[in-house]
Structure 1
Amino acid sequence: MSGSERDIDLAAGRLPFPDGSVTAVVMQHVVEHLELHRQLVPLFQELQRVCTDDAVLWISCPDLAKVCAAYATDRGQALKEDRCRRWPEYTLGGAPVQQFINDLFQARGRHRNLFDLELLTWALGQAGFSAVERIEEADLLAAHPEFPPRHDDEQSLYVRARKSR
């Protein structure tokens, strides 16, 4: 990541932090890039190791339920328009609007999974995280105002999770 304090390979299997040393984790549009069983669940297990007992995980990713509902409603037209408002240079290259749904699922080959609340809750639970709740981007930004807003609640799932006690 450009300008990051530390570059970490999240799929490597081991985070370079001591046990119980992390108080908060924010992952915005990261989890969908990792393979569920071989990369994401092990990453969540590592986060369980490095997080303090009162640590909070903040996660956002494309929302599978919202994407499917958008396709059923208008083939994704409203989501495409939302993307174009936020990223005016975005284009489907002349393809019909349905291609936007493919872009969300595949991200031009970069996405491995899309999550709904149930699947993400399951993955977090495999690593011992509980109290997973759906939140809005505003909740994340209220807790961490240093993060730039994405304005993507229409197509993203935001959750907050805590370690199991």
Structure 2
Amino acid sequence: MAGSEFDIDLAARRLPFPDGSVTVVVMQHVVEHLELREQLIPFFRELHRVCTDDAVLWLSCPDLAKVCTAYTTDRGQALKEDRCRRWPEYSLDGVPVQQFINDLFQARGRHRNLFDFELLAWALGQAGFHSVARIEECDLLAAHPEFPPRHDDEQSLYVRVCKSR
């Protein structure tokens, strides 16, 4: 992230923090860019290592269940309109609306996975995290008002993860 204290390769297998030294992690639309078994689960294990016992992770990503429901409901029209409200410059350039679903899945080749709640909770569980709760963006912003709102509950999955049970 531009202006951040650290530039970290999340797929490098080792975070540059001592064991049990991190109390809060916030990642918005990051996890979908990592391959599940070779990158994401090892990364979650590293997070587990560096987090204190009372650490809290706040994660968001595109929601596979919401995207699939949107496709069967209206071929993704409402999601496309939501995107255009938030990013007026977004356009499909005359391509039928179903292409928006492809944009969410692929992100021009940058997405490796989409997650629903169960799959994301499973991946976190593989790393030792067991307290995973579905939340909404307002819950994240209430805890961390310094983050800019995305206004993307319609297409995103938000979770709060505690290291300890």
Q: Same fold (TM over 0.5)?
A: yes
Q: Residue 34 of structure 1: CA displacement?
A: 0.2
Q: Following superposition of structure 1 onto structure 2, how do residues 36-51 of structure 1 map, counting pairs within 5 Å?
A: 36-51=36-51
Residue number in structure 2 paired with 1:30: 30
In structure 1, how many angstroms separate the alpha carbons of the residues matched to 2:161 and 2:19? 18
TM-score with structure 2 length normalisation?
0.99
Which amino acid is 1:155 matched to?
Q
Structure 2, gaps ≥5 residues long: none
TM-score (norm 1): 0.99
Mapped partners of 1:160, 1:24: distance in 2: 11
RMSD: 0.7
Q: Report the Cα distance in structure 2 between the residues aligned to 1:30 and 1:142, rounded to whole angstroms.
A: 20
Partner residue in 1 for 2:98: 98
State the identity %. 85
What is aligned with 2:88? 88
- In 2, the alpha carbon distance for the partners of 1:140 and 1:60 equals 9
1:92/1:99 contact within 8 Å kept: yes
Deviations 1:74-107 (A, max 9, x none): 0000000000000000011211000000000000
State the SS of the aligned residue for 1:129.
coil
Q: What corresponds to 2:148 in structure 1?
A: 148
Equivalenced residues, count: 165
> For structure 1, which runs of at least 5 residues remain unmatched after alignment?
none
